[in-house]
């Protein structure tokens, strides 16, 4: 059975994503925190690569990601680790260089293992009402959440 990505909106300031991996937790955590391994998968699609990946993995430490697109376009983000529970939980702020929404966000990633499989859950909490009301929250709640079916129907009937 395919491991599908689930996207939900637990609160009106949050987006949550859940995905199961056929691997024990310590390997998933390793792939998530080792820069050389991250470069092999995070945002690597459609000709984009993770060109810069610097991680100072400790509370108060920073991380820096820069993606490069097929036409040389770049997109960067950075953040600070707020909480690290080894093999269980990582909490970090996140901010894009040229953010298209106001304010910042805090991401919490948790890793849970059962029968040799690991469930990764990522929750992103946006930090103000402005952010909540901005473009990001709305498409997430309405589009990826419950409203997506409706939008699907609209698009299906439009032949999209």
Q: Which residues bind another protein (CB under 8 A)?
A: 3, 5, 7, 17, 19, 21-24, 27-28, 30-31, 37, 40-46, 48, 65, 67, 69, 73, 75, 77, 94, 96, 100, 105, 107, 122, 124, 134-136, 138-144, 147-148, 150-151, 153-155, 157-158, 160
DSSP one-letter code for 58: S
Q: How far is the CB of 85 from another protein (least distance, A)?
A: 19
Q: How far is the CB of 4 from another protein (least distance, A)?
A: 9
Q: Which two tokens stand for residue 160?
A: 């999209």
Q: Which is nearer to another protein, 35 or 147 (CB)?
A: 147
User: Do 40 and 32 contact (CB within 8 A), yes or no?
Assistant: no
CB contact set of 21 (below 8 Å; sequence gap of 6+): 3, 28, 117, 118, 119, 120
Q: Strand, helix or coil at 143? A: helix
Q: Which is nearer to another protein, 85 or 138 (CB)?
A: 138
């Amino acid at each position: 059975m395919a491991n599908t990505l689930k996207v939900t909106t637990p609160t009106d300031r949050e987006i949550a994503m859940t995905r199961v991996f056929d691997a024990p937790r310590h390997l998933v955590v390793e792939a998530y925190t080792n820069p050389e391994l991250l470069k092999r998968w995070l945002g690597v699609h459609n000709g984009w690569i993770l060109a810069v990946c610097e991680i100072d993995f400790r509370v108060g430490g920073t991380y820096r990601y820069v993606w490069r697109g097929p036409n040389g376009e770049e997109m960067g983000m950075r953040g600070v680790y707020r909480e690290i529970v080894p093999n269980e939980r990582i909490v970090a702020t996140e901010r894009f260089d040229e953010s298209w929404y106001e304010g910042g966000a805090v991401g919490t990633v948790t890793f849970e293992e059962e029968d040799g499989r690991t469930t990764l859950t990522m929750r992103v909490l946006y930090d103000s009402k402005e952010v909540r009301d901005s473009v990001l929250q709305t498409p997430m709640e309405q589009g990826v959440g419950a409203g997506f079916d409706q939008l699907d129907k609209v698009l299906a009937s439009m032949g999209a």
